[in-house]
Amino acid sequence: MSEHPLPVALIGFGGAGAGLHAPLVGAHSAFALSVVVTRNQERQRAAKARFPAAQVGSDLTAAKGCAVAVVAVPPASRARIVDQLHDLGTHVVVDKPMATDLREAEQLLGHAPLAIFHNRRWDSDFLTLRRLQGEGAWAGPARLESRLQWWQPTVRDSWRNHPTGGGILLEVGPHLIDQAITLLGPVVDVYAELDARRPGAIAEDDVFLALRHADGSLSHLSMGPVGDAHSPRFELTAGGTRITLGTPDRQQEQLAEGLAPGDDTWGCRTPTTGSSEPDRSHPPLSTPSAGGGKPSTMPSSPGSARTPRHRCRHRRAWPRCESSTPPGARTLKGTLSHSWKDDRRWTRARRRQKRPTS
């Protein structure tokens, strides 16, 4: 650890705070988790046991003096917490979504410095697409199929099923929308389907979005706990090029297993049957020839949730993807947006749920 690490306050110590943000902060020697704020006494005890040197309590003013505060409370409380931290003069990283409606989001945009936690920009599957884009793997408008789906038929009693701040659109949508905008540029039209399908579901649990980008590209985004977990994570088609990435990024799964960036097995695949050693091989990126001949192979890109704080150097095992690229393909042109206004863009899009005219 560096001689004087920057103090970090973690606001919220639930699933995201304890399971995602805390290990990522701890993985970087330039930061020290100095303050944990949670009103839940059981979580306070857990935080004290895990971080004995940290100040743990329910008083938000304890974050004053920290270099940055990471806000990982349920969405309905995020805008209020960010407002209070702004009054304390504290820099803020807030989990997505930054707010539950357009009015709150626009108010928060006036707070500086404020950053949104878009960690899935550093997923291995998405970084592979970005790398291929930079290498000129396709040209012109593209059609992107992006999915974060799984099967969980039972509705859990949590804020995620609450009509205010809950629902899959706010929980998963920011990731897929942010990736689509980062890859293909600004959105000019939106079509949406939101349904509550499971018994007991109050907030939507099945979401489909169709985004039309300014350059003519289309993004079809599917998300929710009533989908097929075995569907490809990404499929992109442009002209004579088709790219499929089937295996999703494993970093969040590894955090749940107790691993952290920098651990020996970080980024490795699950051990093969009959072996106790992690698989450190590089699953190939398969690239069939333009004429349909035997495919050649190349390594996919590594994921790194540490990248926003520290550029990861671990290059072990990443998802398998397949590509068909014609010779002479050029890089997709156009300006890609990386600003924090992405959240405002998708919030506006949510209010514009309409079918495109025929």
- Per the CB < 8 A criterion, the answer to whether 205 and 198 are in contact is yes
The torsion region of residue 221 among left (phi > 0), alpha (psi -120 to 50) and beta comes to beta
- Residue range 179-217, pLDDT digits in tens: 999 999 999 999 999 999 999 999 999 999 999 999 999
Residues 92 and 240 placed together within one structural domain of the fold: no
CA-to-CA dists, residue 279 to 260, 264, 265, 268, 272, angstroms:
17, 12, 9, 6, 7
Residue 297 domain boundaries: 121-351
Which of these three, 66, 88, 117, is where a domain ends?
Answer: 117
Residues 145 and 221 placed together within one structural domain of the fold: yes
CATH of the domain at 258: 3.30.360.10
Residues 63 and 193 placed together within one structural domain of the fold: no
Residues 73 and 218 placed together within one structural domain of the fold: no
Among candidate residues 66, 42, 67, 71, the one with its CA nearest the CA of residue 55:
66
Helices 342-351, 173-184: inter-axial angle, 10-degree rounding: 110
Has residue 357 been placed in a domain?
no
pLDDT at 2: 52
Mean pLDDT of the chain: 79
Which two three-digit tokens encode residue 119?
Answer: 């960690």
- How many CB atoms neighbour CB 94 within 10 A? 27
Q: Sign (positive/negative) of CA torsion 104, 106, 110, 115?
A: positive
- Residue range 271-284, pLDDT digits in tens: 444 444 444 433 33
CATH of the domain at 11: 3.40.50.720
Residues 125 and 111 placed together within one structural domain of the fold: no
Has residue 356 been placed in a domain?
no
- Rounded mean pLDDT, 10-34: 93
Residues 148 and 192 placed together within one structural domain of the fold: yes
The band of 65, judged by pLDDT with boundaries at 50, 70 and 90, is very high
Res. 317: pLDDT tops 50: no
- The larger pLDDT score, comparing residue 57 to residue 344, is at 57
User: How many structural domains does the chain have?
Assistant: 2
What does the DSSP 8-state code read for residue 91? Answer: E
Which two three-digit tokens encode residue 26?
Answer: 């701890």
- How many CB atoms neighbour CB 302 within 10 A? 22
- The larger pLDDT score, comparing residue 157 to residue 216, is at 216
The band of 298, judged by pLDDT with boundaries at 50, 70 and 90, is low
Minimum mean pLDDT range among 239-253, 272-286, 295-309: 272-286
- Rounded mean pLDDT, 252-280: 64
Q: How far apart are CA 31 and CA 2, in angstroms?
A: 8
pLDDT at 281: 39
- Per the CB < 8 A criterion, the answer to whether 175 and 343 are in contact is no
pLDDT at 66: 96
Is it true that the peptide bond before 113 is cis, omega within 30 degrees of 0?
A: yes
Residues 147 and 218 placed together within one structural domain of the fold: yes
pLDDT at 240: 86
Residues 67 and 129 placed together within one structural domain of the fold: no
Which of these three, 117, 142, 164, is where a domain ends?
Answer: 117
